Copies of this chain bind each other. A is one copy, B any other.
Amino acid sequence: MEARIKPPCEEIMRPLFHPAIEDVRPEAILHALSDPNRAAIFARIMRAGCVEACSAVSALGDRVIPKSSLSNHFKVLRDAGLIRSERRGVEMRNHSRWIEVEARFPGLLAAIVTAYAADGGEADRPPGP
């Protein structure tokens, strides 16, 4: 159908959606982070400031997460307004929107990340035996 002409901008080709910070809703954030895998991914991005790629995070704890599930987890985090993703060549550069979210919902992300850390040591690990 649409003959898409390649734009001169070599980075963006599919428009990844990121909500404006004022459209970010608490229920979306809580839903996104109510999955321990996603919480671990987010904690990791936050700790690193920026994680190079989805694949950099493909094993959490002792469990390997399939590519398609990972892709979906990143989409949920993105749609919730928690991270910003941009294509850099063949991979994706994800960084957290901590500062924006903190300004809108003060203390929320810190409390959540701290809660996961208090629960299992690190948010990087799904609950084990």
List A residues at the B interface (Cβ < 8 Å).
25-27, 29-31, 33-36, 39, 104-108, 110-112, 114-116, 118-119, 122-123, 127
How many copies, total?
A: 2
Select A25's contact among B26, B30, B112, B119, beta carbons within 8 Å: B119
What are 5 residue pairs bridging A and B, where the CB atoms are less than 8 Å apart in the complex? A25-B127, A27-B116, A31-B34, A105-B111, A108-B115
By CB atoms of chain B within 10 A, which of A33, A39, A106, A112 has the most?
Answer: A112
| In the complex, the 3 A-B pairs of residues with the closest C-beta atoms, listed nearest first | A30-B34, A31-B34, A105-B115
A110 — which chain B residues lie within 8 A by C-beta? 107, 111
Report yes or no: A119 in contact with B39, Cβ–Cβ below 8 A: no
